[in-house]
Structure 1
């Protein structure tokens, strides 16, 4: 029996590759002769660089940049593909939410500056195209940090640079983009994301993503007010309002700044599936297995399992999904092409325990799925 195993990462527990390997380990315990093709995926968030570099046989480049919090310095990587003509950068590297302990998460302080430094490093290599995966950020700064790193002058009413992080948004009085590194204008910017949220409003960056990154209700109000000011000042500078453009709220509003700089949004999962030739692999498989940290009603909106489901349904292949946890109403997912959906949680435990035991729980669940298939074949 041939399986295509194509999961996303399980956030803060395991990468997509580790998840795929865990599923394979469990299946082979029950089905020792099974053939498994591992195709770890991403949707623009964590794993985007690894997926594209692996698919294109590219290379990883080390960088030393600022981290999301003041005073942090981190060693990260970005990818080079297409014979060095294309750089692949994840927001979830220099601005990674997992770099900040839960008790220290504060989007008023967290900045996207390090991601801007990675863009500069890629430009120094002479790339013609930069793919930026939007997702997994610790910041809710509207891309202010990226702009500052690239050389933009974001000044307060006294003509002084505003502080980094979400706290600086409300202090912006003038924005000068003419000082941005000129090499950026010569490179194509592709923004890999399936998030359609705008920058502002009830579905905007502050109100939707702020609490996920540690914002208290009071912080959300502050961030929303700051975003409105930032968007208004940017409108004066560029003569266009980007704050309601679909995807401008992605990655804590980083989508907004990169759209202003000429970035073009592309579906993250479609980009990944094309790069990995997933459709062709599914055509020759007997069964497809996917998964991610949580499977619920939001899964159908551009998440990795939804993309895999579409291809599996087109190929008339059964699809099994494994989630760390499941939402209440999964009926729409069955209609999309999911054959069965499992949770890999074994018992009620603390979040830290669940995250640490993720690979083992995933392997156990995959083994039980394999044993059901053995039973069916008898």
Structure 2
């Protein structure tokens, strides 16, 4: 009998968008089971592609182009999204993400442009903010974004510190009283990262190497974040909300989670927020199977990322969840079947060179498992 299959992958970062992956998986599936009904629901978890997911999911959304200071110091053309209810969605990856780095600069990359986009949304009258903070190029603790919004961070002489984590090494005082008031609908941080700010599972240790940091530079990044936590956590900073460095999610986006929490923002599960906007829970309840995936399925995937969220919806609905990923580096318990693009392509290089081709092959391989 024909199946109804919901196809809800995340983007394959640096390789293919969630929309492209969903289309390729569906094409591959249909080549094996042409009578099945495929429902495409490209997903995001607060990282790259979150703005696109909301744009597709919410009728009446409007994109607003903006030019900001990128993480490497050059101008970046980006956008933010207004929803019909007055909420604005701002994506850090669009303004301050790794894709805007011509060369990785872990000590100097910053989030100033992200703050500029937030300020633009507030100036336009946004009544609430959804801040998607995945894909950051920096480890600046969110200081760049807060500075763009009106906060002051100074050295011992009272001079503003330079942007980036390198500037945190001279941080002596801060003043957050210049930040705008939170909008009536509040500020929610969309992230599925639960890492704290500091320590072996913190922003520098876990994510610093992904942004190009050597072991020595990781130690420097950690030192800068320790200094930031000491200054903001002393209870003497005007306008700052008290935030413990150990708060789950404070380490998201190079500590941007910590900085936004000090403004008064609240953490929210990114996958669930996007899924609700898409109406994904209702779609899954009417389906016979669901396909999800991401570029690399590893031990962090279980911590609320798109595959974990979608597979939980499938379990709740009593239907099988199938996984397609660029690479699979963890046990796929909870999935009825799994397909690795790298395995199908004979290596990661081939899979990344032609992601849609191998996503189609993965869709066909998963369809062949249905009996």
Q: Tell whether the structures are fold-level matches, with TM greater than 0.5.
A: yes
Question: Residues 1-378 of structure 1: matches in 2 within 5 Å?
Answer: 1-57=3-59, 58-70=61-73, 72-83=74-85, 85-101=86-102, 104-180=103-179, 182-184=180-182, 188-236=186-234, 237=237, 238=240, 240-327=242-329, 329-330=330-331, 333-334=332-333, 337-345=334-342, 346-349=344-347, 351=349, 353-373=350-370, 376=371
Cα distance in 2 for residues equivalent to 1:206 and 1:315: 38
Cα distance in 2 for residues equivalent to 1:366 and 1:209: 31
Q: Which runs of 5+ in 1 are unaligned?
A: none
Query: Is the 1:22–1:359 contact (alpha carbons within 8 Å) kept by the matching residues of 2?
Result: yes
Q: TM-score, normalised by structure 2?
A: 0.93
Change in 2 beyond 3 A, CA 1:239/1:146: closer
Q: Which has the higher helix share?
A: 1
Query: Is the 1:205–1:249 contact (alpha carbons within 8 Å) kept by the matching residues of 2?
Result: yes
Cα distance in 1 for residues equivalent to 2:35 and 2:351: 30
Query: Is the 1:242–1:260 contact (alpha carbons within 8 Å) kept by the matching residues of 2?
Result: no
Query: Is the 1:60–1:77 contact (alpha carbons within 8 Å) kept by the matching residues of 2?
Result: yes
The DSSP-based 3-state class of the residue aligned with 1:171 is coil
Query: Is the 1:110–1:164 contact (alpha carbons within 8 Å) kept by the matching residues of 2?
Result: yes
User: RMSD across aligned C-alpha pairs, in angstroms?
Assistant: 1.7
Query: Is the 2:126–2:183 contact (alpha carbons within 8 Å) kept by the matching residues of 1?
Result: no
Q: TM-score, normalised by structure 1?
A: 0.92
- Residue 288 of structure 1 deviates from its aligned partner by 0.9
Q: Which runs of 5+ in 2 are unaligned?
A: none
- Residue 372 of structure 1 deviates from its aligned partner by 4.5
Change in 2 beyond 3 A, CA 1:318/1:167: same
- Residue 67 of structure 1 deviates from its aligned partner by 0.9
Cα distance in 2 for residues equivalent to 1:161 and 1:320: 51
Change in 2 beyond 3 A, CA 1:350/1:26: closer
Cα deviation, 1:152-186, whole Å, max 9, x if unaligned, reads 11111121111101101111111111222x35465
Query: Is the 2:129–2:183 contact (alpha carbons within 8 Å) kept by the matching residues of 1?
Result: no
Query: Is the 1:142–1:256 contact (alpha carbons within 8 Å) kept by the matching residues of 2?
Result: yes
Query: Is the 1:123–1:184 contact (alpha carbons within 8 Å) kept by the matching residues of 2?
Result: no
Change in 2 beyond 3 A, CA 1:76/1:207: same
- Residue 371 of structure 1 deviates from its aligned partner by 3.9
Cα distance in 2 for residues equivalent to 1:225 and 1:308: 37
Query: Is the 1:123–1:183 contact (alpha carbons within 8 Å) kept by the matching residues of 2?
Result: no
Cα deviation, 1:24-53, whole Å, max 9, x if unaligned, reads 111122222221101111111112112122
Query: Is the 1:3–1:288 contact (alpha carbons within 8 Å) kept by the matching residues of 2?
Result: yes
Change in 2 beyond 3 A, CA 1:150/1:39: same
Cα distance in 2 for residues equivalent to 1:184 and 1:356: 44
Cα distance in 1 for residues equivalent to 2:117 and 2:49: 16
* Equivalent residue pairs, number: 363
Cα deviation, 1:249-281, whole Å, max 9, x if unaligned, reads 001100011000000011111112222121211
Change in 2 beyond 3 A, CA 1:60/1:251: same
The DSSP-based 3-state class of the residue aligned with 2:174 is strand
Cα distance in 2 for residues equivalent to 1:148 and 1:273: 32
